[in-house]
Amino acid sequence: MTTTVLLATHNRKKLDELRRILRPLVPDVKVLGLDDVPPYAEPAETEPTFEGNARLKAQAAVRHTNLPSLADDSGLCVDAMNGMPGVLSARWAGRQPGRPREYELLLDQLADVPDERRGAAFVASVVLVLPDGTEHVAEGRLTGRIAREPRGQGGFGYDPVFIPDGESRTLAEMTPEEKDAISHRGRALRRIAPILAKAAAERARG
């Protein structure tokens, strides 16, 4: 019996990523995005932590849909910038048309930073909230460094300028499957997948 879970995002690339990761782990789960359910007032991401923002989004999704709901908040924490842009990663360059891409602004900020100080980490917190109010949290991290110029056509966000530890390629130069295997979000989702599978089985029985 198929169980439906909602991923609280409009980002189709994140949705595709979640489906790829969960398919072999939780095959009986159907994943919907926010564009697949009636619209509701989504909460502003006002928390100072990734986990806090993910929890806001997951709780709102459950309240309005009564579906088991997943939400993630993730971002890039750069050593030479004291952990910035962090929770502001997606909004760092602003929303106005014509503004630079986030990674272009980042490269400008790091232009004079030597290679040995260009360390960074992608961090993701995933929160699963069930209709009965039960919550589960998982975190994933991917450490690496910031390239000096963008490379690759895949991925999204900061992927073209992030080189994982032990790699010579950016995330944007990898196949989706290669990225999923090591990504911060992939690691967090694989930790939450067994919990989601158990919840799906219990829901199917009940």
Any binding-site annotation on 99?
Answer: no
What are the CA-CA distances from residue 109 to residues 106, 113, 145, 170 (Å)?
5, 8, 14, 19
Tokens coding 64:
């309005």
Any binding-site annotation on 108?
Answer: no
Any binding-site annotation on 198?
Answer: no
> For residues 140 and 117, what is the distance between their CA atoms, to the nearest angstrom?
22
Any binding-site annotation on 187?
Answer: no
Any binding-site annotation on 185?
Answer: yes
The beta strand positions in the chain, using DSSP E, are 3-7, 29-32, 69-78, 119-129, 135-146, 162-164
Any binding-site annotation on 64?
Answer: no
Active centre residues (catalytic): 73
- As annotated, the binding site for substrate includes 9-14, 74, 156-159, 179, 184-185
- As annotated, the binding site for Mg(2+) includes 73
- As annotated, the binding site includes 9-14, 73-74, 156-159, 179, 184-185
